[in-house]
Structure 1
């Protein structure tokens, strides 16, 4: 009985000595070819930084607990490097990643707070997620330009990282000025060519 009590106490003490995972820690997965990567199930919004070094078709789908393709995080014919947001809808629950590839890939999962900072102007040439230091207040506009030939979209997310407004949605080149809804803190860009966003 005494030995059993000592064992229980040792287990309890050991659990307190295990360092907690930092809230801003990144989790990185690497592979080569098709793969099903299980992750710790989460409903918290975050970003996925994805790279792929092949020439063939490549995609990354986020799966729910039933194995259903729920969130498309990357989709490319050939090499790819970009950032996508996940769990941006309240119904989302990411439990695994389904990777289709014929060459090496890397996926890094990070908190949404690690998205690229954005104050006035930002530009890029692929999928990206931008972060304001504080949620937008008052009346602001975004001057958006895209010169690629594929699908292009810009979504605004609120301070919780939840999808709120579709700001741009076009197949092909785009140029326009749109209002930025008050309370917006993130912008999620889907693009396969040069783009720029200027906040006014």
Structure 2
């Protein structure tokens, strides 16, 4: 549209300028009008028309180049689309993961055997994604029950190696049998009658629980002494039938012996150096009668310990045979606040001649 206007104006200026120029020449030479301005004006109009034509040429050239460039780019794009199609990326098919089949009982028994390193069992369980159905930890030994083909397999192991592998066994029975063997190995039993000085008994450093029973009508007492004859503790001191427990800290691993007074009756003493396989969990209430040793587990913190005794004789309660909570004679009812420094297993050591109770409260 702009180019047309410029072209029309340029032609008009050229024609007008030429005509006015001729008219001015006529007047200059024929009529002798010597004024030069009309000639200059006509020439100027004519030159303006020439400049417009020049500008029109420049615009036409630019338009032609733009059209040419557009056509070339379109041609390249079309050629590229036709000659170089974009590659189609095919989705990779996921690799098939081979499913691990559960082993048979026979395969398990072949690969997990006694005396093998514990890592063999752990790696085998992880590889086949086997789960432990039930388990116990008792006296440093682990007891696992694994179910394969609806049959139970019992695996017993310690921190280093597999100890036992069995099929169709009862987990509780296997655990209880082990506990019984351990306790028997850590128990010394002495029986007799009358006044007796026992043979030497080797005790290891730690604690020892003495469980004593006397069937008679006379005075009954038991003292624990070291190899040099120094008294370590008075374990029992009563008249007539007696049944009770006493707790002692053993300072050194060495030989000890007991002096027993019980001239008119039979007696039996068990010396045990192990935690019971089951113990109380507190807070809660415990009750009993006579001398006793109660192992319990409690979380660290401060607790109210309520105590009662229904009897005529001496009554005392220690925690770990160190912290004294009660020390009375006859009937007693009272309480003490006690702080347990750690979540751990502790022991109440009770001396009494009648019924007693301990209630641990938050």
Same fold (TM over 0.5): yes
Aligned partner of 1:145 among 273, 289, 308: 308
Higher relative contact order (CA 8 A, sep 6+): 1
In structure 2, do the counterparts of structure 1 residues 91 and 143 end up closer, same or farther at CA, with 3 Å as the change threshold? farther
Report the equivalent of 1:29: 190
- Counterpart-to-counterpart distance in 1, 2:307 and 2:238: 23
* Corresponding residue SS for 1:87: strand
* Corresponding residue SS for 2:275: helix
In structure 2, do the counterparts of structure 1 residues 181 and 139 end up closer, same or farther at CA, with 3 Å as the change threshold? closer
User: Residues 51-200 of structure 1 correspond to what in structure 2 (within 5 A)?
Assistant: 51-87=213-249, 90=251, 95-102=256-263, 103-114=265-276, 117-119=279-281, 120-134=284-298, 136-157=299-320, 163-183=321-341, 185-200=346-361
Describe the superposition over 1:95-128 as per-residue Cα deviations: whole angstroms up to 9, x where unpaired. 0111000211000011251398333211111000
In structure 2, do the counterparts of structure 1 residues 49 and 125 end up closer, same or farther at CA, with 3 Å as the change threshold? same
Q: What TM-score do you get using the length of structure 1 for normalisation?
A: 0.78
- The farther-off stretch of 188-197 and 60-69 is 60-69
Q: What TM-score do you get using the length of structure 2 for normalisation?
A: 0.44
Contact 2:203-2:253 at 8 Å conserved across structures: no
Contact 2:186-2:274 at 8 Å conserved across structures: no
In structure 2, do the counterparts of structure 1 residues 71 and 64 end up closer, same or farther at CA, with 3 Å as the change threshold? same
Unaligned stretches of 5+ residues in structure 2: 1-180
- Counterpart-to-counterpart distance in 2, 1:72 and 1:92: 19
- Counterpart-to-counterpart distance in 2, 1:72 and 1:93: 19
In structure 2, do the counterparts of structure 1 residues 146 and 93 end up closer, same or farther at CA, with 3 Å as the change threshold? farther
In structure 2, do the counterparts of structure 1 residues 97 and 71 end up closer, same or farther at CA, with 3 Å as the change threshold? same
In structure 2, do the counterparts of structure 1 residues 56 and 173 end up closer, same or farther at CA, with 3 Å as the change threshold? same
Unaligned stretches of 5+ residues in structure 1: 1-20, 158-162
Point out the structure with the larger strand share: 1
- Counterpart-to-counterpart distance in 1, 2:277 and 2:311: 23
1:22 Cα deviation from its structure 2 partner: 3.8
Q: How many residues of Structure 1 are paired with residues of Structure 2 in the alignment?
A: 173
Describe the superposition over 1:14-50 as per-residue Cα deviations: whole angstroms up to 9, x where unpaired. xxxxxxx947622111001111112114432110110
The structure that has the greater radius of gyration is 2
- Counterpart-to-counterpart distance in 1, 2:245 and 2:255: 16
* Corresponding residue SS for 1:132: strand
Contact 1:63-1:94 at 8 Å conserved across structures: no
In structure 2, do the counterparts of structure 1 residues 191 and 69 end up closer, same or farther at CA, with 3 Å as the change threshold? same
In structure 2, do the counterparts of structure 1 residues 143 and 91 end up closer, same or farther at CA, with 3 Å as the change threshold? farther
Which structure 1 residue ranges, 4+ long, deviate > 6 Å from structure 2? 91-94
In structure 2, do the counterparts of structure 1 residues 25 and 112 end up closer, same or farther at CA, with 3 Å as the change threshold? closer
